[in-house]
Amino acid sequence: MKGLIFNIIRYAINDGPGIRVTFFMKGCPLSCWWCHNPEGISPNIEEVERIDKIGDREFRIKETVGKYYTVNELLDVAMRDFVFIEESGGGVTFSGGEPLLQVDFLVEALNTFKSEGIHTAVDTSGYASVSAIDAVIPFTDLFLFDIKHLDPLKHKKYTGVSNNLILKNFDYIITKGKKVIIRIPVIPGFNDDPDHLKALRDFVLGKQGVNIERIDLLPFHRSGVAKYRKLSLEDKMKGVEQPSTTRMDELKKYFFESGINVKVSG
Ligand code: SF4
């Protein structure tokens, strides 16, 4: 069996504990306005054109996004960094896109890494069938679970889907006793107003005591802008500024002072 991957990052330090290898799996049922990896949304291999400039000259270079890998090929990649992974208490993370869209491949991959004694994490939007979640639970040490907005209508407007299934799956995973880090993208004008921050805080506090390790606040950034051009996609976040370090520190303090373990992540 093969899985479609659009990026592999070695020495990743923000996708779970220690030093990790992160595999980005292609295909996502959401289409968030701020997505930093829009090349991961389509479930198919895509041909795109990159424009490189040298002086006044423009060079158009064809690029293929997405490549099929076997599980053994992924294992080979991770094993190159095994010493660092082991010494740092790291592992591998499956991200995307939405890794649960390729659930059969994901199960095989997680099972293989677990058999090698390697810590496994799944970074998910939470928008998946319960059967997909059930299939990966036995082989997943940690879920990185995105909570983007608690209001279903706002969630639908900005991501393309309601959050009903996501919140249901979140509860399902924690009742199964799995460790979870909640990831909250901090998107100015979308989810960072005082009322929603309070709602988020109350949501997290309401779940405490059930294996929630931490919340990670992920500041919006514009590093994906060039990708939108490359994929001929509309940049709906045009003109939105990245939250400042001071703002992120304020938000961190807000959650921390309520007794929540919180980190500002990359
Ligand atoms: S869930 Fe993640 S990968 Fe999918 S569209 Fe949203 S930000 Fe992009």
Pocket flag, ligand 1, residue 27 (CB < 6 Å): no
Question: Cβ(128)–Cβ(143) under 8 Å?
Answer: no
Q: List the one residue out of 95, 40, 102, 29 whose CA is nearest residue 65.
A: 40
Domain count, the chain: 1
| Omega prior to 97 cis, within 30 of 0 | yes
Could you give the angle at the alpha carbon of 110 between the alpha carbons of 104 and 112, nearest 5°?
105
pTM of the model: 0.95
Indicate the DSSP class of residue 56: T
- Residue 209, pLDDT > 80, answer no
Pairing of strands 2-12, 20-25: antiparallel
CATH number of the domain to which 179 belongs? 3.20.20.70
27 against 58, higher pLDDT: 27
Q: Which residue of 123, 125, 144 sits with most ligand 1 atoms within 8 Å of its CB, as the best mutation to test the pocket?
A: 125
Pocket flag, ligand 1, residue 31 (CB < 6 Å): yes
Range of the domain at 245: 2-264
Å from CA of 30 to ligand 1 middle = 6
Of 54-63, 141-150, 176-185, 199-208, the one with minimum mean pLDDT is 54-63
Pocket flag, ligand 1, residue 125 (CB < 6 Å): yes
76 against 47, higher pLDDT: 76
- Number of helices (H), then strands (E), belonging to the chain: the values are 9, 11
Each residue's pLDDT tens digit, 116-169 = 999 999 999 999 999 999 999 999 999 999 999 999 999 999 999 999 999 999
